[in-house]
A and B are shown apart, each in its own frame.
Chain A
Amino acid sequence: DGGITQSPKYLFRKEGQNVTLSCEQNLNHDAMYWYRQDPGQGLRLIYYSQIVNDFQKGDIAEGYSVSREKKESFPLTVTSAQKNPTAFYLCASKQEFNTDTQYFGPGTRLTVL
């Protein structure tokens, strides 16, 4: 089965803890993306990576970190510096041609207790 997987589906965190959200794809896509979605809002870009070992900040990178050590994996760490982390987190990927379609994983819903 080809696709994008995210884990866990639901995640609960205590204030002050770092947590890491997993994103894996077996589509052989070059580019991967992390978005955050708040209730009733659109998607806001956190970080993206166009090639292995390289990534760029999106619009709301503060309080988040990423790595891209393998083409198929792009984990997102939500640090304690992120003041309001409760949200729905979506990972996406696409081939690195400008017009290619971006596909989404199923998402991780993070709740801070």
Chain B
Amino acid sequence: QKEVEQNSGPLSVPEGAIASLNCTYSDRGSQSFFWYRQYSGKSPELIMFIYSNGDKEDGRFTAQLNKASQYVSLLIRDSQPSDSATYLCAVIGASGSRLTFGEGTQLTVNP
């Protein structure tokens, strides 16, 4: 089992729709959870982080964490073509010393 798994892509949504990106993790002691966005040929940039169970909203982005189910998700409301990118889920495990990344989900928002 991979330490961090993301829903397989690519994911395609129409402009204005909600895009839902999902991630599960295997280390039950994981502490911190991050979503990064990576445009083609560029380095990852942080979108959201979440530490506690529940929802965290920032503009059009909402991160959701359920530690009991070992599940974290990212919702993008009113998706725009500029949101087209690969989204990486990353988790700090119980050891606390390093991030482990999923393989990413490629999102395309169609005008």
| A pairs with B | yes
CB pair A102–B51 under 8 Å, yes or no, is no
A50 neighbours in B (Cβ, 8 Å): 97
**Which chain B residue lies CB-closest to A98?**
B96
Given A90-B44, A107-B43, the answer on whether A102 and B99 have CB atoms closer than 8 Å is: yes
**CA separation between A43 and B42, bound complex, in Å?**
13
Given A99-B31, A101-B34, A103-B46, the answer on whether A45 and B98 have CB atoms closer than 8 Å is: yes
Min CB gap A8→B, angstroms: 15
CB pair A90–B43 under 8 Å, yes or no, is yes
**CA separation between A30 and B49, bound complex, in Å?**
20
B31 neighbours in A (Cβ, 8 Å): 98-99
Min CB gap A103→B, angstroms: 7
What string of 1s and 0s marks CB contacts (under 8 Å) between B88-111 and chain A?
A: 101010001111111110000000
What string of 1s and 0s marks CB contacts (under 8 Å) between B36-65 and chain A?
A: 000000111110010100000000000000
Min CB gap A5→B, angstroms: 12
* Chain A count of residues within 8 A CB distance of the other chain: 22
CB pair A42–B104 under 8 Å, yes or no, is yes
17 more contacts with CB within 8 A, not counting A33-B98, A101-B34, are A33-B99, A35-B101, A41-B104, A42-B101, A44-B101, A48-B97, A56-B97, A58-B98, A98-B97, A99-B32, A99-B92, A102-B99, A104-B44, A105-B43, A106-B42, A107-B42, A107-B43
A: residues with CB less than 8 A from B are 31, 33, 35, 41-45, 48, 50, 56, 58, 90, 98-99, 101-107
B: residues with CB less than 8 A from A are 31-32, 34, 42-46, 49, 51, 88, 90, 92, 96-104
Nearest 4 interchain pairs by C-beta = A98-B96, A42-B103, A104-B43, A43-B101
